[in-house]
Amino acid sequence: MCYSAMVHQKYRDFIRQFHADIGIDEFVRLYLERASNPAIKIPKGMDANFLDPQTVEERQISDLILAYDRTQAEKWQQELFKQRKRLADAERSLQVKATKKAESDQRIATEKVEWLLGKLGDLNRTDSKPRDSRIFPMHYAPVMIWENGRRVVKPMRYHCRPAGKPAFYDSKYPGCYNARRDNLEGFWKGQFGISHGLMLVSAFYENVSRHRLEKRDLAPNEKDENVILEFRPQAGQDMLVACLWSRWTGSSGEALLSFAAITDEPPPEVAEAGHDRCIIPIQHQSIDAWLQPNGDLKGSYAILDDRERPYYEHRMAA
């Protein structure tokens, strides 16, 4: 279902490669919204666009990122102090007598201290790492759409909430980051043929059963074990992944841009690795036709059929 993907977050790459404009107002709106709602998930790779601000809007976003990072650092430092105290208390208790509570506190505090140190380290890190651009459902990524006669890149949430639907659709339909091709005229009829987008992806990740990956049946009394595989085009090229998107507006005027990646039956090498879905990378020459469907469902299906067909190599994800 492409539950995760390695996405190109640098919007200047879109400008250079695809002669796209940047919907900078939407980036400003997103970062302003995160200032009051820290639960909004923006990857570090997207933040990196604003490390060297060149415009008034970029400077505004840069200031918002710095303020957000300070708030997060203070929050995590306070929690780190709390968990280190919890760990020390548990270890003192264990020196006197082993109890389940002390053992549990020791384990949980140790895990939380490690997690918090990792988050603080990432927050202060200035060098880029591949994981900075990896997205999961509910994370934001740059998506290229067609607007006012031009290609435009805007930040969108990777989990589509269709326009006109209630906000609880996010929890009612947790798989809405995946738009199955066989349901495009069903659940996705309000977006297919109407609002198409493209995401620039270098790799995608899938959950598979270990026994399917190893091409064997489950042994007697063996539990199904999940592993995560990374799929990457053998030639190393980036993929223009077909997406559907929607602009949702709430009763109080709040707005949300969100999208889903279209998936289809997998090519043989993905199926043999144990997964039953695959993203659809379109041909470069189909960009504008895909972004401007104008209700042409037949033409849209034709673009999905005439897709790029890279050979996907896979490995266990780090």
Q: What is the pLDDT along the chain (318 residues), one digit of tens a residue?
A: 567 888 887 888 888 889 999 999 999 999 999 999 999 999 999 999 998 899 999 999 999 999 999 999 999 999 999 999 999 999 999 999 999 999 999 999 999 999 999 999 998 888 888 899 999 999 999 999 999 999 999 999 999 999 999 999 999 999 999 999 999 999 999 999 999 999 999 999 988 888 888 888 888 888 888 889 999 999 999 999 999 999 999 888 889 999 999 999 999 999 999 888 999 999 999 999 999 999 999 999 999 999 999 999 999 887
Within the chain, all domains assigned CATH 3.90.1680.10 are found at 4-24+130-316
* Per-residue model confidence as pLDDT tens digits over 32-80: 999 999 999 999 999 999 988 999 999 999 999 999 999 999 999 999 9
**If we measure between CA atoms, which residue out of 165, 158, 200 comes closest to residue 179?**
158
pLDDT for the residue numbered 2:
67
Which contiguous run of DSSP H or E holds residue 59? helix 56-96
Round to whole Å and give the CA distance between 148 and 81. 52
* Per-residue model confidence as pLDDT tens digits over 180-195: 999 999 999 999 999 9
Say what the pTM is: 0.91
pLDDT for the residue numbered 29:
96
Q: Are 249 and 161 in contact (CB under 8 A)?
A: no
- Helices and strands in the chain: count of H runs, count of E runs: 10, 12
Residue 239: strand pairing partners: 201
pLDDT for the residue numbered 209:
86
Which contiguous run of DSSP H or E holds residue 197? strand 196-209
Which contiguous run of DSSP H or E holds residue 113? helix 100-124
pLDDT for the residue numbered 223:
87
- CATH architecture label of 4-24+130-316: Alpha-Beta Complex (3.90)
How far the first Cα of the chain sits from its last, in Å, is 19
The topology under which CATH files domain 63-124 is Methane Monooxygenase Hydroxylase; Chain G, domain 1 (1.20.58)
pLDDT for the residue numbered 212:
83
**If we measure between CA atoms, which residue out of 286, 265, 34, 29 comes closest to residue 144?**
286
Within the chain, all domains assigned CATH 1.20.58 are found at 63-124
